[in-house]
Structure 1
Amino acid sequence: MNPYVLLVLLSSLGLGTTLTFASSHWLLAWMGLEINTLAIIPLMAQNHHPRAVEATTKYFLVQATAAAVILFAGTTNAWVLGTWDMTNMLSPLASAMVIIALALKIGLAPMHLWMPEVLQGLNLTTGLILSTWQKLAPLALILQTAQNVDPLLLTTLGLLSTLVGGWGGLNQVQLRKILAYSSIAHMGWMIIVVQYTPRLMLLALLTYIFMTSALFLTLKTFDVTKVNTLAVAWPKSPLLSTTTALVLLSLGGLPPLTGFMPKWLILQELAKQDFPMVATIMALAALLSLYFYLRLCYSMTLTISPNINNSSTPWRTNTTQTSLLLALSTTAALALLPLTPAVLTLTI
C-alpha cells in the first residue's frame, strides 16, 4: 500500500476514535464511529484475496447495521427528551438499543458470530488493529451510557460473552479464531464490571491491549497462523517462545502475571456487590479460556517439529521486523502485577 494512503487511513482511524472520545452529542459520536469503520475497510481488503474481501464485506455490513441502530436510538432519545446529549439517555428503549448496537460493534455474545470469521480473513497486523484500537470508541460510548441501562442486560451480555468466549475456542485450530474468542471473553469481563466500577473496566481494557498486542506481534514475528505450526517456534527463538507462553498464561489470568490483576479485582468487586454466583460463573468460564491457552503453550514450548539433518537451521534465521513494540508489550503483559496496590488506590 502507498505510504501516503496508509498515513491517511491511520490518521482517519485516530480522528474517528478521538471524535467519539470528545463528543457528548450522539450525532458526532456516530460520525466518529463511521469514520473509524470507513478507515479500516481498505486496510482489511488490501491483500486482494477472496477471503479478505469476504471478511471486509461482513465487517462493513455488521458495522453499518450497528451504526444505523445507534443513530436510530439517538434520534429516539432526542424525540422523547428533546436532547442529543449522551448523558441524558433516560429513555429505556433508546438505552437498550444503544447497548445492543455497541455490543454488536465490539462482538459481545450473542452478537459475536461475525468476529471469528472476520478476524480469520485478515492478516495479523490488521487483526491487531481490529482487536484493540477498533474497540476503544464503542467501549467509550458504553462507559458513558452504562449507568442508564438495565443492569440485568449488562450482566447477561457479560456472562454470555465469557462463556461463549471460553467454549468457542476449545476446538479451534486457527490462531486468529482463538484470539477472536479470547477477545469476546475479555470483553465480557469488561462489560460486567462497567456498571459498578468504570475504572476497573479501563484497567481490564489496558491490560487486554498489552497482552493481545504482545501475542499478535509474536505470531507476526514467527509468521504462524495455525496451532500445528507453532511447533516450529521453539527452534527459531527459544527465548521468545518462553515469553509467549507466559503471555498466554497471563491472558488466562494466572498469577504472578499481569493478567491476574483485572480478573482478581473484578471478581472482588462482584463479591462486594453481593453477586457471588455471578463471580463464580465468571471464574469457571475463565478456566475454559485457560484450557486453550494451555494448549497453545503445549504446542509452542513442549513440542518440537520433526527435523532432518539436511534441513536448514531455523534458529539462525534473522528477522527484519522491529522488536521494540513487541518487547514493551510483552514486558507490560508480564510484569505489572506488583503495581496492584497503586491501581487499587486509583480505583477506590
Structure 2
Amino acid sequence: MQLKIMFFMLIALLTGTTITLSSNHWFMAWIGLEINTLAITPLIMNKKTPRSTEATAKYFIIQALASTTLLCLTTFNFWKTGEWDIDLTHPLPTSLITITLMMKLGIAPLHFWMPEVLQGTSLKTGLILSTWQKIAPLTLLYQLSTEFNTNMMIIMGLLSVLVGGWGIINQTELRKMMAYSSIGHLGWTLIIMPYYPNLALLNFIIYMIMSIMMFMTLNKMMQTKMSDISTSWSYSPPLLCMMMLVMLSLGGLLPLTGFLPKLLTVLFMTKKSMIIFTTLLIITSLLSTYMYIRLTHFMMMMLTPNTTASSTSWRPQKTFFSLFTLSATISTLLMPILPTIFIL
C-alpha cells in the first residue's frame, strides 16, 4: 500500500474515533463508527493474501451487521423518545444497543470473528484492531453505563474472561493469543463498568498500554508463533526480558501494572457484597494467568540467554524508540500509584 493511502486511512481512523468521542448524537456517533470500519478495512487487506482477504470479509460483514442493527435501534429510540441524544436512551432498546456494541468490541459470546481477523492481518494492523478500534464503542458503552442491565453485563463479562482464558490455552499463534487476551481484559472492563465507570476506563487504558508494548515488541522481533520466541534471544535479550515482564503483567501478577486494575475491581466488587461473582471472576482469570506463566517459562528456559558469536547479515538492525521505554515503564511499574488512586 502506498504511503499516501496509508496516511489517509490513519487520518480517517483518527477522524472517525474523534467524531464518536465528541458526539452526543446517536447518528453522528454511528457515522464515526462507520468511518472507522471503512478506514481499517484496507489496512487489514494490506498483505494481499487469501487469509487477509478472508479476515477482511469477516470483519466487514460483522461490523456492517452491527452498524445496521445499531442504526435501526437508535432510530427506534428516536421514535420512542423523540430525541437523538445518547443520554436520553429509552430502556427498551438499551440492552440491544449494548449487545450490538459488544459485537463491535468482540465480547463473548459475540467474539468468534476477533481471533480469525487478527490472525489474518499484520501485527501493526492487529495493534490498531486491539486498541484504537475499541475506543469508540467503549466510549458509547461508557455513556450508557447508567442504563445498563447489570446482570447481563456481569454474565457477559464473566463469559468473556472465561473464553479469553480458555481460548488462549490452546493457541500457538501469538496473534490469536493477543485476541483472546483482548477478550479477557474487556471482560474485566465490562464487569466493573455498571458500578464504577472510571475504574473500567482505567482498566482499558492499562490494557491498551500493555497491548501496545506487546505488539511493538513482537513486530520488532518479527515473531508470530510461539515456537519463534524460544529462539529470539539472539536478537535482543533485554527486549525479550521486557516482553516477559509485560506478559506477566497481562496475566495480572503482583507487583506489575496488570495487577492494579484486577485488584481494584475485586476490592470494589467485594464492597458491593458480590462475593460469588468475585470468586468466579478470580477462578476464571487463572486460566489466562497460567498460560502467560507457561509462555514465560517457555521463553526463559528453552534456550540459554546468549547472543551469537558473530553478527550475520540476516539479523535486522536493532533500532529502538523512546515509545518502547515509555510503554515498558507504564506496563510494568505503575503499581506504586495505587495509594493515589484510592485518594482520588
TM-score (ref. length: structure 1): 0.95
Deviation readout 1:145-195 (Å, 9 max, x if unpaired): 121121111111101000110001111111111110000000000001010
Q: Determine the structure 2 residue equivalent to 1:70.
A: 70
Q: Report the Cα distance in structure 1 between the residues aligned to 2:198 and 2:313, rounded to whole angstroms.
A: 43
Q: Which residue type is aligned with residue 133 of structure 1? A: W
**Unaligned 5+ runs, structure 1:** none
Q: Report the Cα distance in structure 2 between the residues aligned to 1:168 and 1:332, rounded to whole angstroms.
A: 27
Q: Determine the structure 1 residue equivalent to 2:334.
A: 336
Distance change (3 Å), C-alpha of 1:41 and 1:274 = same
Q: Report the Cα distance in structure 2 between the residues aligned to 1:314 and 1:243, rounded to whole angstroms.
A: 24
Q: Which residue type is aligned with residue 274 of structure 2? A: F
Q: Report the Cα distance in structure 2 between the residues aligned to 1:128 and 1:316, rounded to whole angstroms.
A: 26
Aligned CA RMSD, in angstroms, stands at: 1.8
Q: Determine the structure 1 residue equivalent to 2:48.
A: 48
Q: Determine the structure 1 residue equivalent to 2:23.
A: 23
CA contact (8 A) 1:154 1:191 kept: yes
Q: Determine the structure 2 residue equivalent to 1:138.
A: 137
Q: Determine the structure 2 residue equivalent to 1:239.
A: 238
CA contact (8 A) 2:199 2:261 kept: yes
CA contact (8 A) 1:257 1:334 kept: yes
Does residue 34 of structure 1 match 2:39?
no
CA contact (8 A) 1:131 1:183 kept: yes
CA contact (8 A) 1:236 1:315 kept: no
CA contact (8 A) 1:235 1:315 kept: no
Deviation readout 1:269-328 (Å, 9 max, x if unpaired): 1111111111111111111001111122122221129x9x9x965799442554322221
CA contact (8 A) 2:109 2:156 kept: yes
- Matched residue of 1:258: which SS? coil
TM-score (ref. length: structure 2): 0.96
Q: Which residue type is aligned with residue 326 of structure 1? A: F
- Matched residue of 1:232: which SS? coil
Q: Determine the structure 1 residue equivalent to 2:10.
A: 10
Q: Report the Cα distance in structure 1 between the residues aligned to 2:286 and 2:59, rounded to whole angstroms.
A: 30
Q: Report the Cα distance in structure 2 between the residues aligned to 1:312 and 1:164, rounded to whole angstroms.
A: 44
Deviation readout 1:34-69 (Å, 9 max, x if unpaired): 000101111110111111111011000011111111
Deviation readout 1:73-106 (Å, 9 max, x if unpaired): 10111111111111011232x1011110011001
CA contact (8 A) 2:221 2:232 kept: yes
Task: Report the more deviating stretch, 228-237 or 171-180.
Answer: 228-237
Q: Determine the structure 1 residue equivalent to 2:80.
A: 80
Q: Report the Cα distance in structure 1 between the residues aligned to 2:142 and 2:277, rounded to whole angstroms.
A: 21
Q: How many residues align structurally? A: 342
**Unaligned 5+ runs, structure 2:** none
CA contact (8 A) 2:145 2:197 kept: no
- Matched residue of 1:7: which SS? helix
Q: Determine the structure 1 residue equivalent to 2:199.
A: 200
CA contact (8 A) 2:217 2:243 kept: yes
Distance change (3 Å), C-alpha of 1:62 and 1:314 = farther
